[in-house]
Amino acid sequence: MSLDQDRLKAINGITNRHFSPTFCFAKWYHTTIYLQTGETHSCYHPAPHKIDVDELLTNPSALHNTKHKKLERKEMLEGKQCVGCQYCWNIENMGDDYVSDRHIRSGSIYNEERLQEIKFNPWDFNVNPEYIEVSFGNECNFRCGYCHPKASSRYHNEIRQHGPYTMSKNHRCDIDWFRVYEEDSNPYVRAWWKWWPEVSKTLNILRITGGEPTIQKSTYRLFDELEKDPKPHLELNVNSNLGGKERQLEKFTDGVNSLLTQNKIKTLNCLQVWTLGVSVLNIFATDLISKCLNVILIISCATQLRKLRL
């Protein structure tokens, strides 16, 4: 067994003693939130579930702390295998030597402070996650075939005009079973900004995904909020196709550089460039974004990527 596996096994033993054999830190401290559809989950294995918009009126943290998640947390504390996490149970049921994502995520999140927070609070307390991936909207300038209308406005418009795909049973991309909210009038986006002053105090990693973040208003509002109230502990990550117009990319890089050079965020750890379903470039802040030629280099990259647009 490797040193990493030894560490994961040790942490699993700690959570077994304090909580149960089905406990997972990710259910408390990790979340992905799709504001354009009002959905969330704590990892990619369970399907996203709906956020109760009425609950947000008095508790904006319900963007993450939904009743659904709280009941799953309760089940985990009681040693039950909640239905949404079957992916991990299938792996663990193959034997003690098999390592599931539950073990890996708990190993990456674990520290004594978080353990104590869960241990000495009621099962349904509202927790501030340490990692958030957020999608502010589905506005996007691409319509990649591997994607979905929930995450691309151009894709959504194409399905609306021409109907769902008929050549595929598993990826028809019907749009009549969900609603996509406009960014300006979205109650979930409003709840996000109500929650931000509180959740940002302890948030370690914020990943902005899409849609396409470089063309969305909320990305630049986030930059403005960080300019006014810096978070020098925060690692900011962005998933982007870098296929926007040059003025949009200049605005984006100017905003990032301002935050970095004034130490208003810890780092922009990586800017993942996605096209045709493949991450084709990782741009690390220390190597590119923070250098004086960043705009020229990024625009050059975007020009090349634009040729691949679907």
Segment 91-105, tens digit of pLDDT: 999 998 899 999 999
pLDDT at 145: 81
8 A C-beta contact, residue 26 and residue 88: no
pLDDT at 268: 87
Q: Which residues contact 151 (CB under 8 A, 6 or more apart)?
A: 135, 138, 140, 210, 211
Cis before 211? omega within 30: yes
pLDDT at residue 78 greater than cutoff 90: yes
Mean pLDDT of all residues belonging to the chain: 88
C-alpha 282/C-alpha 45 separation (Å) is 24
The answer to pTM > 0.85 is yes
C-alpha 256/C-alpha 268 separation (Å) is 8
pLDDT at 262: 94
C-alpha 35/C-alpha 186 separation (Å) is 8
Please state the rounded mean pLDDT for residues 152-178: 88
pLDDT at residue 53 greater than cutoff 70: yes
Task: Tell me the torsion sign for CA atoms 128, 200, 147, 268.
Answer: negative
8 A C-beta contact, residue 235 and residue 206: yes
pLDDT at 11: 96
pLDDT at residue 270 greater than cutoff 70: no
pLDDT tier for residue 39 given thresholds of 50, 70 and 90: very high
pLDDT at residue 276 greater than cutoff 90: no
pLDDT at residue 298 greater than cutoff 50: no
Please state the rounded mean pLDDT for residues 62-88: 97
Burial zone of 225 (CB within 10 Å; 0-12 exposed, 13-18 middle, 19+ buried): middle
8 A C-beta contact, residue 186 and residue 137: yes
* Residues forming a β-bridge with 274: 279
C-alpha 211/C-alpha 154 separation (Å) is 10
Please tell me the least confidently modeled range out of 116-120, 167-171, 286-290: 286-290
Question: What's the maximum distance between 2 C-alpha atoms anywhere in the chain?
Answer: 56
Please tell me the least confidently modeled range out of 55-64, 188-197, 201-210, 293-302: 293-302
pLDDT tier for residue 259 given thresholds of 50, 70 and 90: very high
pLDDT tier for residue 284 given thresholds of 50, 70 and 90: low
